[in-house]
Amino acid sequence: MAKVRTPLTQEELSDLMDVLMDVGVSMLQSGAASFRTEETVTSMGLGLGADSMDVYITPTGIIATATSGEERHTRVRSLKLVGVDMAQILAFDRLSRRIRERGGTLDTVRRQVGTIRAAPRDLPAWVTVPAVAVACGAFSKNLGGDWPEFLAATVGAGIAQWLRLVLHRLGVNFLILTVLCAHAASLVAWGVAQLVPGDAPTLGMAASVLLLVPGVPLVTTVIDLTQYDLVSGVTRGTMALIITLSIGLGVMLTLWITGMNILP
């Protein structure tokens, strides 16, 4: 015989929405697609006692309503800072599946959500900085460059990645951050190319800014559009375009300062 679920009170629904909003905002800030965030928030809400969930996601906020019996509670939450943390997205996805399958208490889930949000990134800066640097250097080789270009791209990208982590922690606007990092990467790559001349210094400069290419926004744009979420898809696509233009602006500053000509 199926167990009859006791309807949640208004206070319990309010507490539930606090947790769900934390999850939704954290996922969006980590770069999750809108449909994935909606699916996770809905699944957790139903698993924690709500009879129904109505969730609307945009790249800059969440509107959600939880219903239980005769009670209904709506919450709106906005966000500004956006980054990429796939480990956190995966952790919330796994948590939502466990809750949907096995249930759980709100207090327990609140602690688990807090643990996930407070968890540091899987890889520290001393690992990610050289890894990103070498990856960009390898791209210069793929583009046809030689070892001087590899060195220029590696050093430039490493400096840019370190600067990006610092500026992100300081809460600098992501567009200003992108311009500054692109300028730093290309300027350092140009400087290395002057010390270790190669046949194609422009390849080193181009590869040094590849870490700033908005790969996640571009992918989530396609995902959202294929899910017919036009608002999120168009918004993310526009953001990716603006980030790309910001990269170009940073490189143009370097070309203006150095007088380097990249045209044939």
Q: What is the pLDDT of residues 154-208, one digit of tens each?
A: 999 999 999 999 998 888 888 999 999 999 999 999 999 999 988 888 899 999 9
Q: State in Å, rounded, how far the first CA of the chain is from the last one.
A: 78
Q: Which of 146, 174, 162 is nearest to 59 (CA)?
A: 174
pLDDT one-digit tens code per residue, 73-94: 999 998 876 677 888 999 999 9
Q: pTM higher than 0.85, yes or no?
A: no
CB 253 within 8 A of CB 183: yes
The vertex-243 CA angle with 79 and 227, nearest 5°, equals 65
Average pLDDT for 97-104? 85
Residue 113 backbone dihedrals phi, psi, to 5 degrees:
-65, -45
pLDDT one-digit tens code per residue, 108-145: 999 999 999 888 876 788 888 999 999 999 999 998 88
Q: Which of 238, 231, 233, 245 is nearest to 175 (CA)?
A: 245
Residue that the structure tokens 């526009």 belong to: 238
pLDDT one-digit tens code per residue, 32-56: 888 889 999 999 999 998 999 999 9
